[in-house]
C-alpha cells in the first residue's frame, strides 16, 4: 500500500508530495497533469521489475508513447531537468515468494524507498539516451512513527496493528555511498548490522538493486519489490473483456481486462475447495456467481444470474449474463460499461489481487444516475481500514482520476485531491507551470505537517453542477422515516456534496436531495 509519494523532475511533477489513503480521487481538467501522477507510480513499479531503459520505455509521453527517454524529465522551454527524484513510503505484505519460489518474511512492513536518476547521453542510441542510477535507498520507518505518518482515518488496534508490524535495528536495507565514479550501492541482509552487505558499483548499473532482490539475500527488500510490482494502471478494454478464455488461461485479471471468464471460474472453483466439506459443489459455485450477479444488479435492474459457460469440446470459458426474462446474453453482446463494472466486481472478490490499482475516469460508459454504484464498488475493492488485514480484507488500495462533476460530488470528502497548474519562477527569471494537488479544508490531508494547501471554492465551481444523487433515486421509492432508519443503521461518510460550505455554491441545488 502506497501511503506517500514525493516526486520531482518527472514530467510536470516538481516538488510534489502526495499522501494516499485506501481510496483516493484525483480531479482535474484535461492536460493539467493528473495522469502524470499515475505515470510516476507506473514508472516506479516498472523500475522494480525491469532494466532502467525498458522501464522508461514502458511509460507514455504526451503522445501516448515514449520514443525519447528525455521526455520523462521536467522541461522548461527547450531545457530539461538533469535529474528526477522519487520517494515512496509504503506498507508491504508480511509474506511473499521470490522468482524461484522461495518464501520471504518481512522483518518490518513499513518502508521508505528513495531513488535518484539522471539522464545520460548515449552515442550508441542517440534517439533514446540512457538513465544513470545516482542514488537508491530502502529504509524502515519505526513503528512508533506510524501514527504520525499514517494520517488517514483508520483503526489502530485492528487495521494498523495487522498491517504495520515487525522490528529492525539497522536503518538500511539498501544504501548508497560515495560520489561520482566511486558510488557504491549496497544491499544489506535482514540480519542487521552483523549481516554482510552486497556492494555493487553504481556506474553503468543497468537496473535498480531492488529489482534483483530475492528471499535469501534480503526478504524485506524482496517484499518491497513485490509491493511495487503490484502497482498497476487498469485500462479495461472492451475487446479484451469480451474474449472467452481457454482452459489453460491464467486465472488472474489482466490490466486490460483480459482473462475475466478464467478469473471468475477460478474463484468459483477455489471457493468450492475451501467450502466442499460444508456445502455441495453446486451450492458453493452458485454463491460466487450470485455475489457477482448481485453487484451487477446494482447497475442493471433486470440482471438475474451471472455464470461461466464451460465448452468442453472447444475448451473455452465464456462469461454469460441471464436477465429476469430468461434471456442469456454472452459477454460479446454486453455494453462497455457493463463489462467494466463486471470486471471490477470480480476483482473485488479476488483475494490475490493486491497492491495499488489506478483507474482513469471510472465513470466512462456509466449512466450518471449509476455513478454512485461504481464509486461504492471501487471503495469496497480497497482495504477496509476498520478491520484487520487478512485474506478477505487484502492490503489493496484504489486511486482514480476524473474530471466529472458527478464523480467529484459523490466521493468521500477526505478522499478528494484537486490537480491544478500553478505558475512558478526559476532562479533565472524564467517562468514555468507545474501541477499541484490540493485538498478540501478540515480533512486529514489539510492537517498534515507538510501543510498541503486547500483548494479554493472558486476552483470547485466547475464540479458543482447539480446531479441526481443516490438519495434522490431511493427517496422516490420509500418514505422519509425508512430512509432515516437506514441511515442510522448504516452510517455513511460525508461526501463532497454534503459539505455546508459547498452547497450554497451549487446553482439550484434542491435541499431535499441532501
**pLDDT tens-digit series, residues 333-392:** 999 999 999 999 999 999 989 999 999 999 988 888 899 999 999 999 999 999 999 989
Where residue 92 falls among pLDDT bands split at 50, 70, 90?
very high
Question: What was the pLDDT predicted at 476?
Answer: 39
DSSP per position, 187-227: EE-TTGGGSPEEEEE-TT--S-SGGG--TTT-HHHHHHHHH
C-alpha cell of 15? 516538488
Contact in structure between 346 and 267 (CB atoms under 8 Å): yes
Residue 85's nearest CA partner among 121, 136, 37, 36 is: 136
- In this prediction, residue 84 has a pLDDT band, given cuts at 50, 70 and 90, of very high
Residue 462's pLDDT is what? 79
With a CB cutoff of 8 Å and minimum separation 6, the contacts of 273 are none
Whether the predicted pLDDT of 447 surpasses 80: yes
Supply the pLDDT for residue 281: 59
Instruction: Give the model's confidence band at 480: pLDDT under 50 very low, under 70 low, under 90 confident, else very high.
Output: very low
State residue 393's pLDDT score.
94
* pLDDT of 412 above 90: yes
Confidence band of 271 (pLDDT split at 50, 70, 90): low
Residue 360, CA distances (Å) to 232, 338, 383, 389 in order: 12, 16, 19, 26
97 bridge partner residues: 103
Cα 151 → chain centroid: 18
Length of the chain equals 514
Mean pLDDT of 477-498: 59
Mean local confidence (pLDDT), 14-31: 94
Domain boundaries, the chain: 2-230+393-425, 237-352
The pLDDT value recorded for residue 507 is 65
Amino acid at each position: 500500500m502506497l501511503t506517500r509519494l514525493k516526486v520531482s523532475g518527472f514530467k510536470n511533477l516538481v516538488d510534489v508530495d502526495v499522501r494516499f489513503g485506501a481510496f483516493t480521487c484525483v480531479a482535474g481538467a484535461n492536460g493539467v497533469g493528473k495522469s502524470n501522477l499515475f505515470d510516476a507510480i507506473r514508472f516506479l513499479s516498472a523500475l522494480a521489475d525491469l532494466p532502467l531503459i525498458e522501464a522508461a520505455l514502458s511509460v507514455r509521453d504526451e503522445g501516448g508513447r515514449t520514443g525519447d527517454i528525455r521526455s520523462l524529465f521536467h522541461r522548461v522551454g527547450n531545457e530539461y531537468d538533469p535529474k528526477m527524484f522519487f520517494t515512496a513510503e509504503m506498507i508491504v505484505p508480511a509474506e511473499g515468494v521470490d522468482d524461484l519460489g522461495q518464501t520471504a518474511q518481512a522483518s518490518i512492513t513499513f518502508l521508505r524507498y528513495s531513488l535518484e536518476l539522471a539522464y545520460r547521453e548515449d552515442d550508441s542510441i542517440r534517439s533514446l539516451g540512457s538513465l544513470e542510477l545516482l542514488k537508491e535507498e530502502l529504509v524502515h520507518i519505526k513503528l512508533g512513527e506510524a501514527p504520525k505518518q499514517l494520517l488517514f482515518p483508520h483503526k489502530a488496534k485492528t487495521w494498523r496493528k495487522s498491517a504495520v508490524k515487525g522490528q529492525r535495528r539497522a536503518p538500511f536495507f539498501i544504501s548508497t555511498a560515495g560520489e561520482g565514479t566511486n558510488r557504491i550501492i549496497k544491499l544489506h541482509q535482514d540480519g542487521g548490522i552483523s549481516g554482510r552487505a552486497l556492494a555493487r558499483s553504481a556506474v553503468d548499473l543497468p537496473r535498480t538493486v531492488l529489482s534483483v532482490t530475492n528471499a535469501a539475500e534480503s526478504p524485506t527488500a524482496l517484499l518491497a519489490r513485490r509491493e511495487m510490482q503490484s502497482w498497476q494502471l487498469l485500462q479495461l478494454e472492451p475487446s479484451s473483456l469480451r474474449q472467452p478464455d481457454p482452459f489453460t488461461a491464467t486465472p488472474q485479471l489482466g490490466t486490460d481486462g483480459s482473462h475475466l471468464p478464467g478469473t471468475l471460474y477460478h474463484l468459483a472453483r477455489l471457493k468450492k475447495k475451501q467450502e466442499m466439506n460444508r456445502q455441495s459443489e453446486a451450492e458453493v459455485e452458485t454463491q460466487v456467481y450470485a455475489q457477482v450477479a448481485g453487484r451487477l444488479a446494482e447497475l442493471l435492474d433486470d440482471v438475474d444470474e451471472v455464470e461461466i459457460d464451460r465448452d468442453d469440446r472447444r475448451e473455452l470459458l465464456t462469461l454469460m449474463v441471464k436477465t429476469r426474462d430468461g434471456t442469456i446474453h454472452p459477454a460479446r453482446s454486453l455494453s462497455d460499461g457493463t463489462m467494466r463494472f463486471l470486471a471490477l466486481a470480480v476483482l473485488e472478490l479476488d483475494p490475490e489481487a493486491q497492491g495499488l490499482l489506478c483507474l482513469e475516469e471510472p465513470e466512462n460508459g456509466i449512466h450518471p444516475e449509476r455513478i454512485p454504484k461504481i464509486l461504492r464498488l471501487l471503495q469496497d475493492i480497497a482495504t477496509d481500514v476498520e478491520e484487520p488485514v487478512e485474506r478477505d480484507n487484502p492490503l489493496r488500495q484504489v486511486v482514480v482520476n476524473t474530471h466529472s462533476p458527478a464523480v467529484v460530488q459523490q466521493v468521500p470528502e477526505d478522499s478528494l485531491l484537486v490537480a491544478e497548474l500553478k505558475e512558478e519562477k526559476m532562479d533565472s527569471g524564467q517562468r514555468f507551470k507545474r501541477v499541484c494537488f490540493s485538498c478540501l479544508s478540515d480533512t486529514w490531508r489539510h492537517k498534515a505537517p507538510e501543510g498541503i494547501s486547500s483548494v479554493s471554492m472558486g476552483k470547485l465551481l466547475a464540479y458543482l453542477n447539480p446531479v441526481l444523487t443516490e438519495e434522490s433515486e431511493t427517496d422516490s421509492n420509500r418514505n422519509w422515516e425508512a430512509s432515516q432508519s437506514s441511515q442510522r443503521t448504516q452510517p455513511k461518510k460525508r461526501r463532497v456534496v454534503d459539505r455546508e460550505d459547498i452547497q450554497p455554491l451549487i446553482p439550484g441545488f434542491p435541499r431535499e436531495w441532501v
